[in-house]
Each structure stands twice: as C-alpha cells, then as structure tokens.
C-alpha cells in the first residue's frame, strides 16, 4: 500500500519504517526541515535501538521517502497516519493544535478514497472533530474515513513493540476503513481489537492511566514499607505474582516520567472533569507521583547530613533506560532541587548526555560512570540502565568520598551493599 506518516517522532518514524519494511511505499512527513534533512542523510534524530538499521535499509530501497511536502505525499496515499505531538496545556488538557494543523493540511491534499488514521493520543471526541475539519477543507471529490488507532509502543523497545503488540486497536465507524487497516497490519503479530472511534480514544488514556496507577500504588506502598520495616520489592513480588494483578509496573522508584504518562494522566483527569466526573483516584495517582522527587532528595539530604557544598554523582538522566528522551524525566526535578540546596552535580547517562546537557547546563556531564563518581560524596541512581547493574562496586567505593548510595530504582541488593560497606538507601527498603 501507499502510506503517509505525518510526524517523524518516536511514534511516526517507527511506524513508517516498519510499514516500509513490510514492502509498503511510505512517505514520512514532518514540518521540521532539520529533522527531514537529517533523516535524508541516514541519521535518526533520536536514540531508539534497532531503528536506524531499518530506516537505512528502507530508505536505500526507496520504500521510505522523507519529505516536508503534503502535496508530494498525501495525494498518492491510501492511508495517512497522524503521529504528531499532543503536549499538555497548563491546565492538563491535551493541546491539539499540531493535530489540527496536520489534519487540515492532509484534508487539503486528499485525492481519492483515503483512510485517515489518528495515532496521536487525543481526547475522546477528537475523531468527530477531525472528521468535520477534513470535510471543511477537502475537495468535493475526495472521500475519506477516520480511524482511531492508538499507539502503545514503549520508547527503548519501540521496534519490538510495533512488531509484537499485545493488541492493535482499530476504532472506526467504517467497515471499509477497518478492512484497509486489517490488511495493512496483516504482517504484524498481534490481536486486532475492532471498535468505535470513541472507545479507541478512551482505551489509550485508560491504559496509560492504569499503568500510572500501578506505579503510584507501588510508590505509596514503598512509603509505608519504609516506615514499618518491610521490603517493598518482596511485597511487590508477593502481590504481583497473583495473576489477577501481575508484577509488571509495580515499580517503586522516583516516579513515572516521559512524554506520555504524566500528560495522559492529566488529560484524562481533564476529560473526566469535562464530562462531569471528578476522577479522584487519578488525581491521587498524579499527586503521589509528584512527591517522589522531593522524597528522594530528602532521603539523600538525610544520608549526607545536608546538601550545601556537597558533590553528588548521578547515574542515569533519561526518563527510562534505552532512550535519550528527557521529556518529564524525574532527573530534571531531582537535579534542580539538588542545585537549589547548594549541591554540585556530576552526572552520567549512556545516551542522553547531549540532550541532558542542554536542559541542565549547571550539572557537570561526565563521559563514564567512574568519572562521575570520582570524589563525589554520594552516588544516586535515577535511571536503571543495564550498565549500572554490574558496575565494579568496590572501585566505586574507593572513588567515593563517602560510601553512600541512594538507589532510586532499587537496582542493587541491600545485603550485598551492606557487605561491601556501603550506606545503602533504596526505595521502600529499610
């Protein structure tokens, strides 16, 4: 099939590259010229394992074409995906200005029957509004159907997730559009859930809100475990091995971040409010998440007996491992608080260093773990990169001025840390 993917970010580029790999002719369109030029020269503008190889292979085969022009792409396409950002406004509401602008440009360039697919995460009712917008701007002869096809990929494993999704949600009022989507997704190994547009829109927010709830629940439990002397990791194992509950996402730590959970929780609270429902549960999820960074800093402050003039080594800056995405990364809050309290920060992240340097020029950005730790008075783990799990802890102990480790992701074993002579503070572990 001929496909246009509008927006070449984490979602759009992965979607476009994989559809091209299946043999489709794909135009990847973005209004950001710099990004398109980078892609044309074979460089992926962000870190996503396995993606660059697929992009290169398909660009060379001319199945993947990068463009800034709606005219040179949409006209030829049977399916157009909208994958632009939907950042939060100040009040938590999703900002749909990028979606509206992209949909208007698509509408103006529709030729024959086209399936227009919303992949961006959008509030319920957006499909209806976009359908009206397209009708307003399309030519008389152009025909289209709207599909809501929310995306569930995770940054860091986006290629795998796209090839092996738990489900593919296809929401549409048109049988023809559903058929086109099923045909396009045939090579993908995942259960197709056919539904209406509004339900599809709600599924995405519901999924992210529920996953965020699991994380905040684990964090609330961690707070209690610390007070009563229990180990939250054992508690989460004991709870999570119950198949009705499940262990994934019962992750106590410094809170969820990234470009999705924080904004989608706020957006669903806003959607609920507009529909006349006060979503108290989700408000608590957000509140619990917001206090994680300050609880973490308080723990470090107590361990060090104050932060003024102290040097702190930070391992991990991206909001999660295997990505260089710094959007809403908890490290931003933690480092800001450390600086406000007079601490010096020496940070290291395997891939987010350049992005982080721009956002946190006040921190010293080191090129490896040992450089960050050398001479620091405490070590903090903020992102659970694999390379931090097997570090030479004896060497770390020698390099640190004080053998203090505050582990925001519970990657180390408290017993081993004690045996090695560290003052070790995890999350929810006394």
Ligand X SMILES: NC(=O)c1ccc[n+]([C@@H]2O[C@H](COP(=O)([O-])OP(=O)(O)OC[C@H]3O[C@@H](n4cnc5c(N)ncnc54)[C@H](O)[C@@H]3O)[C@@H](O)[C@H]2O)c1
Q: Which residues are catalytic?
A: 260
Residues 224-263 that bind ligand X (CB under 6 A): 259-260
**Residue number, 58 or 148, with CB nearest to ligand X:** 148
Tokens of 156: 């860091």
Beta bridge partners of 172: 147
Q: Which stretch binds ligand X (CB under 6 A): 8-16, 53-61, 308-316, 360-368?
A: 8-16
Q: How far, in Å, CA of 40 to CA of 8, rounded?
A: 12
Is beta strand 144-148 parallel, antiparallel or unpaired with respect to 167-172?
antiparallel
Binding of residue 92 to ligand X (CB under 6 A): no
DSSP assignment of 41-90, as one string?
TT--SS--TTHHHHHHHHHHTTSEEEES-STTTGGG-SEEEE-----B-T
**Residue number, 30 or 301, with CB nearest to ligand X:** 30
**Residue number, 10 or 425, with CB nearest to ligand X:** 10
Using the 8-state DSSP alphabet, how is residue 402 labeled?
A: S
Q: How far, in Å, CA of 18 to CA of 46, rounded?
A: 16
Binding of residue 121 to ligand X (CB under 6 A): yes
Binding of residue 35 to ligand X (CB under 6 A): yes
Over the range 182-203, which residues count as b (16 or more CB within 10 Å of their CB) and which as e? eebbeeeebeeeebebbebbbb
**Residue number, 80 or 376, with CB nearest to ligand X:** 80
Binding of residue 7 to ligand X (CB under 6 A): yes
Binding of residue 130 to ligand X (CB under 6 A): no
Binding of residue 32 to ligand X (CB under 6 A): yes
Q: How far, in Å, CA of 67 to CA of 27, rounded?
A: 7
**Residue number, 24 or 73, with CB nearest to ligand X:** 73
Binding of residue 195 to ligand X (CB under 6 A): no
Binding of residue 171 to ligand X (CB under 6 A): no
Q: Which stretch binds ligand X (CB under 6 A): 97-105, 108-116, 139-147, 213-221?
A: 97-105
Residues that bind ligand X (CB under 6 A): 6-12, 29-32, 35, 83-86, 98, 101-102, 120-121, 151, 153, 155, 259-260
């Amino acid at each position: 099939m001929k496909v246009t993917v509008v927006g070449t970010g984490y979602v759009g580029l992965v979607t476009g590259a994989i559809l091209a790999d299946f043999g489709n002719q794909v135009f990847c369109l973005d209004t950001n010229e710099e990004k398109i030029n980078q892609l044309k020269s074979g460089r992926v503008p962000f870190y996503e394992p396995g993606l660059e190889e697929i992009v290169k292979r398909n660009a060379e085969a001319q199945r993947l074409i990068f463009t800034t022009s709606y005219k040179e792409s949409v006209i030829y396409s049977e399916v157009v995906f909208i994958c632009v950002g939907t950042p939060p406004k100040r009040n938590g509401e999703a900002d749909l200005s990028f979606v509206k602008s992209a949909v208007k440009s698509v509408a103006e360039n529709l030729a024959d029957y086209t399936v227009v697919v919303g992949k961006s995460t959008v509030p319920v009712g957006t499909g209806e509004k976009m359908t009206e917008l397209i009708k307003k701007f399309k030519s008389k002869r152009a025909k289209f159907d709207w599909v809501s096809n929310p995306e569930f990929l995770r940054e860091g494993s986006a290629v795998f997730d796209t090839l092996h999704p738990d489900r593919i949600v296809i929401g549409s009022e048109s049988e023809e559009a559903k058929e086109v989507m099923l045909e396009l997704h045939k090579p993908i190994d995942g259960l197709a859930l056919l539904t209406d547009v509004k339900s599809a829109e709600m599924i995405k927010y519901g999924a992210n809100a529920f996953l965020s709830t699991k994380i905040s629940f684990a964090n609330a439990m961690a707070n209690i475990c610390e007070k009563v002397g229990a180990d939250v990791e054992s508690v989460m194992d004991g709870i999570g091995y119950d198949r009705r509950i499940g262990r994934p996402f019962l992750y106590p730590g410094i809170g969820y971040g990234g470009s999705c959970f924080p904004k989608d929780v706020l957006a669903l609270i806003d959607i609920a409010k507009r529909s006349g429902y006060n979503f108290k549960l989700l408000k608590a999820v957000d509140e619990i998440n917001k206090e994680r960074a300050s609880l973490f800093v308080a723990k470090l402050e107590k361990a060090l007996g104050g932060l003024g003039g102290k040097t702190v080594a930070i391992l991990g800056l991206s909001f999660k491992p295997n990505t260089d995405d710094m959007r809403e990364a908890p490290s931003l809050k933690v480092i800001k608080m450390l600086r406000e309290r007079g601490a010096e920060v020496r940070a290291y992240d395997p891939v987010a260093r350049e992005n982080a340097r721009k956002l946190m020029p006040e921190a010293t950005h080191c090129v490896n773990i040992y450089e960050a730790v050398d001479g620091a008075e405490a070590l903090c783990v903020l992102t659970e990169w694999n390379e931090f799990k097997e570090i030479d802890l004896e060497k770390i102990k020698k390099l640190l001025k004080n053998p203090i480790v505050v582990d925001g992701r519970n990657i180390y074993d408290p017993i081993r840390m004690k045996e090695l002579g560290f003052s070790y503070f995890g999350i929810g572990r006394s």
